[in-house]
Chain A
Amino acid sequence: MRRVLVLVALMAGVVPVAAQDRAWPSERPPRPLPARESTFPDYQMRTLDNGLQVVTVLHHEQPVVSMRMIVRVGAAQDPRDRTGLADLAASLLDQGSVGKSAKQVQDEIDFMGGAMGAGAGADLTFANVVVMKDSFEAGLRILSDMARTPGFAPAEVERQRQQALSTLRVNFDSPEFVADAVFDRLVYGFHPYGLPQNGTAGSIATITRDDIVAFHDTYFVPNNAILAVVGDVTADEAIGMVQKVFGDWQRKALPASTFVAPPDPTRRVIVVNKPDAVQTEVRAGHIGIKRNHQDYMALNMALRILGGEGANRLHQVLRTERGLTYGAKADMDTLLEAGDFEASTSTRSQATGEVLRLIVDEFWRLQRERVGDRELNDAKAYITGSFPLTLEVPDAIATQVLNVLFYGLPVEQLQTYRDRVNAVRSDDVERVARYYLRPDRLAIVLVGNASAFLPQLRGLGFSNVEVIDMDDLDLLAADFRKPGSKTRAQVPAVPSRRGAPGASLQFPLAPPAAYQPASAQATGRGSTPEDGVSARQLLDRVIAAKGGLERLRAVTSLVVTTRARALGPNAPTDMADTVTSIEYPNRVRVESTIRGTDVLQVFDGTRAWVRDPNGTHDVPERGVRDFQNGLRRDTINVLLAALDGRVRVRRLADVKDDAGVVRPALEFSGADLEPMVMYIDPATGLVTKLTYVAGGMGQPLVEESFSDYRNVNGVQITYAATVRVGGQPALERTVTDVKVGGALDPSLFRRP
């Protein structure tokens, strides 16, 4: 009997490693005891006449008092050419005051067995002091000196400047740091949240003592600050002492902060190459919401399910199931002005492609699939159950109150936190996941040994990868490259494991030829556009080249006859003859003939149908979307939509074509349009290439290149096109006839 048991265990691959295993009972876990009362602990809030908000949390177990001040100014207020100013200013707060040298104040705090510290974040600067209760007043005075009268002695400024520069050098050797910094820049663009908070070597060197003094004078005022006093004092003692020490701090008007909006999410892959790295730091995500937002709770739940404590699909998929990482998580970073969603992990170089694919898949899964009640309830149980854990020590209680005050949230939220968590339903999570998550527009950052994983990216369909050597990295450049650094090729051309599916897959149902009319133009009136030409100017130029705004608006239909041939090792050799009729803006009819078989596809603006030798069928919803997307990518449609503001357009920096030639490029994106990049011939203003991913991230990139433009009734139409899918040639197309004209016969779009 015993032998049999052991055998069964071995066959199941399970090894009981305990000698006494058999004697141990089989049973279910015991039930919990009655739950204990848990309420939000007491705290007091007061506002002094000068506007200083004061929070007190009393706690008498240990003879210690902690004092924490938050000033509402951070790196977000750094002038654009002085990044790192808030950080440098904060680092000087504990380096002496007007009345005491750095050495004096440091000796004072150390001798009393206290500690002090200061620092800056994106939106705030903090200064903390902790002392034994018998030094409460002395501690509060040190904090007052830090906040109100820091000395900024020139010698101390120079010391901290050197420290900041050395820290930068070490930081830029840390793949983690670099990945986070590039991710922020990618997601927030040139919004202050996207800029390096601890500055650059250039900006740190430029900041003067006057800059620091002016910055402090402007923002360090009582009506811009919150002070928490926590620990072994009475409420009267605390408020009385704060009044005594901070009561004469003068209120002052604050300048308004205005920020540029962060850009819309855009699909972009940045690889920072660090050849000596043994792991790749992986970041993926996009812009999110600010902290004070009505959907915060539901989105927070969605992100926790993706990768938060108490849930964490990423951890499950990457670590538990595959052993690809030590840890993976997803966070919702929510700041005052904006926020982001971010998945992060690190993995051995060789597993980079697989890890990236799995992360992107999980974004899609969360966006597309409803979260089940069981998974949601587990996540809620963790959040509500662990709430008392976040209130264990007095400083943690103070943190909760400070957060509410800082973000301007209703104070009652502290008491109702668990009710609000429990109120989130699957419907809410589904709604916000669908609305806010954009897996097709993830900003992706990979910091590691590029040669170990670049070929994998191409295989996975990630094209347009921008590779930057670590030494060339410049966080302030639009293309992340130091001026003058040599540019590298993008993803090296390596054989893809996918064949060339484009053509064969698309035939006969929807040849890419179908609704690609053409792009064209009267040749270059304008010459080469200079740097800094705005998206709008470039857009105008493309429209002018194509035929002019008036002419394009007058085009109501386009009928194009083409011959096309599939390319690739397994492609059929037959030619496909196609007549595509578009009636702007949203109807299309495609008649194709291949190997003697006729196929007709029609989209009437709402429904789509197909007639093939087997009869007439309705096209399923997914296919309908393909028609709609194809029409939205039509050159005339997209140009006019961008001009009218229905589609967002932005100018890309330094995009290169296959030959490595810099060409102006525009990116079009919108609620219903996956990002599409349009490359423009600098000499003529004609469109030379369109690239896009149809059906979302992870799908292969489609590249359509155009040439042989001819003028047809005042519109420039391309007569020759090639299509590459996933980097492989897929289709070659020649136009034989084009009609640019008026209304088409309505019966062409009527379902038989």
Chain B
Amino acid sequence: MTRRVLRTFVVSALLAAISGLPAGAAVPPPRLHYDFSTLPNGLKVILSEDHSSPIIHLGVYYHVGSKNERPGRTGFAHLFEHLMFKGSKNVGAEEHTSVIASAGGQSNAYTTDDETVFWQTFPAQYLPMVSWLEADRMASLRVEKDNFTNEREVVKEERRMRVDNQPYGRLNELIYDQTFTTHPYKHPTIGSMADLEAASVDDVREFYNTFYVPENATLVIVGDFETAQAKAIVEQYFGRVPKAQRPVPRDLPKEPAQTQEKRVTLQQPWPLQAVVVAYHIAYDGHPDSYPLHIASKVLSDGQSSRIYQKLVYEQQLAVTAFGGANLVEDPNLFYAVAIVQPGQSPEAAIAALIGELDQLKAGGITERELQRAKNQFARDYILGRESNQQKALQLAHAVVIHNDISTADGEFEIFQGITAADVKRVAEIYFTEANRTVITIMPASRADAGGGR
């Protein structure tokens, strides 16, 4: 459930216990209410009424992301996401956005390793129109060559803006490139400039016909509607999208187990040194993923968490330091990062980070830390279910990634049952030397960096 977005809250351990606080269990959140069904063409539909505000959130989650790209076409899933705004049979280029905007709605899309998500939030009376718009591009996308070329330039600008022109913008890219050998998690969702340049309109057609089919999509609608009426609207517009002719391919290369520690030093034109310690871990929903999530919180959620306390607060080795499990559809990484305080050595920061992970194996976590992590989990859980969009995200995630909608509510109980022994057990499995990659990134001089990228 953690995205490939690092939490910046940091955290630590070791506090003198404070008396007078409730030692109790987390406050239980209300359950989500929903109606879940599958249309004859394979489209999965989740409807969840919420009448607190006269608005609706509608999302279409396609189960395709950058890990489904073929070699030489990295960045394509995301480029394709942009092309979905370039018109379909009854909708002109960019009209999707403008039509929704003139109804007072907002719309956008994003792509991750695992999913491509199109969403809109709008005044409730426009549910028929928004459903019609999404169904139109699911069934009849059209791409003009000029638009395609133009949009490819937009995506290249997006890469420059988000990655190439930001201090530390390439950090994630470097980590995954160093740690993965085979699985497509190795490459970044935004892709490489060369691959973007190589993408063609033929690729668009093939990708669309393969992945943008009803049985590969989950429609989620949360907000101010009556379920029976919404069902009729969904059947009317999405029901007529033809069923796919062939199954959606799901065979991805597996990442072989890492058998020995890897240490590497790189250069980047960044202002301060950075160090990374990374370990391969299990996928989201694996029994080990829950203790790993608890371990992440103990290490790095809040200023009382261990990594923050040790590296930032006490030893002042790092300007910032954080870490956590990236729990996604396929096995991914636990990694921790420290931006080294000027005057401190990267070696000391690495040793401190590894020390914290080893400490999980040697000493485990305290009962107090366990309870704190559970309370923090409950907070995230509750604050992550306030808006319609957040509820839609939880429901869709359960269906798309876990293939089990009951996990949208069920994980709360699983987490409350995790023990300190579980955390120690998974630490011993995953935080081993052989499974570790250590990366040191030194500032390159500006002159070296110019034009080289």
Interface residues of A in 16-41 (CB under 8 A from B): 16-21, 23-24, 26-38
Residue of B nearest to A316 (CB): B94
| Interface flag for B40 (CB, 8 Å) | no
- Tell which of B276-284, B380-388, B403-411 binds the partner: B380-388
A16–B140 CB distance below 8 A: yes
Q: How far is the CB of B357 from chain A (nearest CB, A)?
A: 20
| Interface flag for B146 (CB, 8 Å) | yes
| Interface flag for B417 (CB, 8 Å) | no
With a CB–CB cut-off of 8 A, which chain B residues contact A279?
A: 157, 160-161, 164-165
Q: How far is the CB of B270 from chain A (nearest CB, A)?
A: 7
**Given the known A-B contacts A17-B142, A64-B382, are A32 and B126 also in contact in the complex, defined by CB atoms under 8 Å?**
yes
With a CB–CB cut-off of 8 A, which chain A residues contact B371?
A: 111
Q: Provide the bound-state CA to CA distance between A172 and B450, in Å.
A: 17
A111–B157 CB distance below 8 A: no
With a CB–CB cut-off of 8 A, which chain A residues contact B42?
A: none
Q: How far is the CB of B410 from chain A (nearest CB, A)?
A: 18
Q: How far is the CB of A162 from chain B (nearest CB, A)?
A: 7
Q: Provide the bound-state CA to CA distance between A228 and B451, in Å.
A: 51
With a CB–CB cut-off of 8 A, which chain A residues contact B24?
A: 134
The interface bits of chain B over 145-180 (1 if a CB of A lies within 8 angstroms of the residue's CB, else 0) are: 110011111111110111011111000000000000
**Given the known A-B contacts A19-B209, A275-B450, A386-B104, are A113 and B376 also in contact in the complex, defined by CB atoms under 8 Å?**
yes
Residue of B nearest to A24 (CB): B140
B22–A134 CB distance below 8 A: yes
Q: How far is the CB of A276 from chain B (nearest CB, A)?
A: 4
| Interface flag for B30 (CB, 8 Å) | yes
Q: How far is the CB of B135 from chain A (nearest CB, A)?
A: 9
**Given the known A-B contacts A16-B140, A63-B29, A381-B103, are A392 and B11 also in contact in the complex, defined by CB atoms under 8 Å?**
no
Q: Provide the bound-state CA to CA distance between A309 and B102, in Å.
A: 10
| Interface flag for A166 (CB, 8 Å) | yes
A15–B145 CB distance below 8 A: yes
With a CB–CB cut-off of 8 A, which chain A residues contact B447?
A: 275
Partner of B102, one of A21, A163, A172, A310: A310
The interface bits of chain A over 106-118 (1 if a CB of B lies within 8 angstroms of the residue's CB, else 0) are: 1111111111000
| Interface flag for A393 (CB, 8 Å) | yes
Q: Provide the bound-state CA to CA distance between A104 and B20, in Å.
A: 12
With a CB–CB cut-off of 8 A, which chain A residues contact B205?
A: 15, 17
Q: How far is the CB of B189 from chain A (nearest CB, A)?
A: 15
A63–B382 CB distance below 8 A: yes
**Given the known A-B contacts A34-B125, A309-B106, are A106 and B302 also in contact in the complex, defined by CB atoms under 8 Å?**
yes
Interface residues of B in 83-112 (CB under 8 A from A): 88-90, 93-94, 98-99, 101-106
| Interface flag for A103 (CB, 8 Å) | yes
Number of chain B interface residues as a range: 35 or more
B157–A325 CB distance below 8 A: yes
| Interface flag for B271 (CB, 8 Å) | yes
A17–B303 CB distance below 8 A: no
The interface bits of chain A over 352-371 (1 if a CB of B lies within 8 angstroms of the residue's CB, else 0) are: 00000000000000000000
Partner of B378, one of A113, A172, A346: A113
A21–B27 CB distance below 8 A: no
Q: Provide the bound-state CA to CA distance between A33 and B139, in Å.
A: 24
**Given the known A-B contacts A32-B103, A130-B383, are A110 and B303 also in contact in the complex, defined by CB atoms under 8 Å?**
yes
A112–B158 CB distance below 8 A: no
With a CB–CB cut-off of 8 A, which chain B residues contact A113?
A: 26-27, 372, 374-379
B89–A108 CB distance below 8 A: no
Number of chain A interface residues as a range: 35 or more
Residue of B nearest to A168 (CB): B271
| Interface flag for B53 (CB, 8 Å) | yes
Residue of B nearest to A382 (CB): B101
The interface bits of chain A over 387-400 (1 if a CB of B lies within 8 angstroms of the residue's CB, else 0) are: 11101111000000
With a CB–CB cut-off of 8 A, which chain B residues contact A427?
A: none
A170–B158 CB distance below 8 A: no
B160–A166 CB distance below 8 A: no
Residue of B nearest to A281 (CB): B165
Interface residues of A in 258-292 (CB under 8 A from B): 275-279
| Interface flag for A347 (CB, 8 Å) | yes
B21–A111 CB distance below 8 A: yes
A310–B302 CB distance below 8 A: no
| Interface flag for A79 (CB, 8 Å) | no
Partner of B157, one of A102, A166, A347, A391: A347
Q: Provide the bound-state CA to CA distance between A347 and B302, in Å.
A: 37
With a CB–CB cut-off of 8 A, which chain A residues contact B132?
A: 29-30
**Given the known A-B contacts A24-B139, A110-B372, are A323 and B154 also in contact in the complex, defined by CB atoms under 8 Å?**
yes
B167–A173 CB distance below 8 A: yes
The interface bits of chain B over 428-452 (1 if a CB of A lies within 8 angstroms of the residue's CB, else 0) are: 0000000000000000001101110
Q: How far is the CB of B324 from chain A (nearest CB, A)?
A: 15
Residue of B nearest to A62 (CB): B382
Interface residues of B in 265-312 (CB under 8 A from A): 269-272, 301-305, 309
B125–A13 CB distance below 8 A: no
B29–A62 CB distance below 8 A: yes
Q: How far is the CB of A552 from chain B (nearest CB, A)?
A: 53
**Given the known A-B contacts A28-B90, A173-B271, A388-B54, are A17 and B27 also in contact in the complex, defined by CB atoms under 8 Å?**
no
| Interface flag for A133 (CB, 8 Å) | yes
**Given the known A-B contacts A15-B142, A276-B450, A323-B157, are A132 and B94 also in contact in the complex, defined by CB atoms under 8 Å?**
no
| Interface flag for B252 (CB, 8 Å) | no
Partner of B272, one of A102, A170, A278: A170
The interface bits of chain B over 326-342 (1 if a CB of A lies within 8 angstroms of the residue's CB, else 0) are: 00000000000001011
With a CB–CB cut-off of 8 A, which chain B residues contact A320?
A: 93-94, 150
Q: Provide the bound-state CA to CA distance between A483 and B189, in Å.
A: 44
Q: Provide the bound-state CA to CA distance between A86 and B98, in Å.
A: 41
**Given the known A-B contacts A113-B375, A173-B271, A175-B165, are A16 and B142 also in contact in the complex, defined by CB atoms under 8 Å?**
yes
| Interface flag for A525 (CB, 8 Å) | no
Q: Provide the bound-state CA to CA distance between A64 and B150, in Å.
A: 46
Q: Provide the bound-state CA to CA distance between A159 and B386, in Å.
A: 35
| Interface flag for B261 (CB, 8 Å) | no
A112–B123 CB distance below 8 A: no
With a CB–CB cut-off of 8 A, which chain A residues contact B146?
A: 13
Residue from A162, A163, A277, A326 whose CB has the most chain B CB atoms within 10 Å: A326
With a CB–CB cut-off of 8 A, which chain A residues contact B388?
A: 392
| Interface flag for B395 (CB, 8 Å) | no
Q: Provide the bound-state CA to CA distance between A132 and B290, in Å.
A: 22
**Given the known A-B contacts A132-B27, A159-B316, A276-B269, are A21 and B89 also in contact in the complex, defined by CB atoms under 8 Å?**
yes
Interface residues of A in 52-85 (CB under 8 A from B): 61-64
Q: How far is the CB of B271 from chain A (nearest CB, A)?
A: 4
With a CB–CB cut-off of 8 A, which chain B residues contact A21?
A: 89, 139-140, 142
Partner of B106, one of A29, A62, A389: A389
B89–A132 CB distance below 8 A: no
| Interface flag for B55 (CB, 8 Å) | yes
Q: Sort A-B residue pairs by CB-CB distance and give the 5 closest, nearest first.
A: A385-B104, A113-B375, A323-B153, A107-B15, A110-B302
- A-B contacts besides A15-B201, A15-B205, A385-B104, 5 pairs, CB < 8 Å: A13-B145, A17-B143, A17-B208, A33-B124, A322-B153
Interface residues of B, Cβ cutoff 8 Å to A: 9, 11-12, 15-16, 18, 21-22, 24, 26-30, 52-55, 88-90, 93-94, 98-99, 101-106, 121-129, 132-133, 136, 139-146, 149-158, 160-162, 164-168, 201, 204-205, 208-209, 224, 242, 245, 269-272, 301-305, 309, 313, 316, 319, 339, 341-342, 368, 371-372, 374-379, 382-383, 385-388, 446-447, 449-451, 453
What are 29 A-B pairs with beta-carbon distances under 8 A? A13-B145, A16-B89, A17-B201, A17-B204, A18-B208, A20-B139, A21-B89, A21-B140, A21-B142, A29-B129, A33-B128, A62-B29, A103-B16, A104-B15, A106-B12, A107-B15, A109-B302, A113-B26, A113-B379, A115-B9, A166-B342, A167-B319, A169-B271, A170-B168, A278-B165, A323-B150, A346-B160, A386-B105, A392-B55
Interface residues of A, Cβ cutoff 8 Å to B: 13-21, 23-24, 26-38, 61-64, 94, 102-104, 106-115, 130, 132-135, 138, 159, 162-163, 166-167, 169-170, 172-176, 275-279, 309-311, 319-327, 346-348, 378, 381-389, 391-394, 449
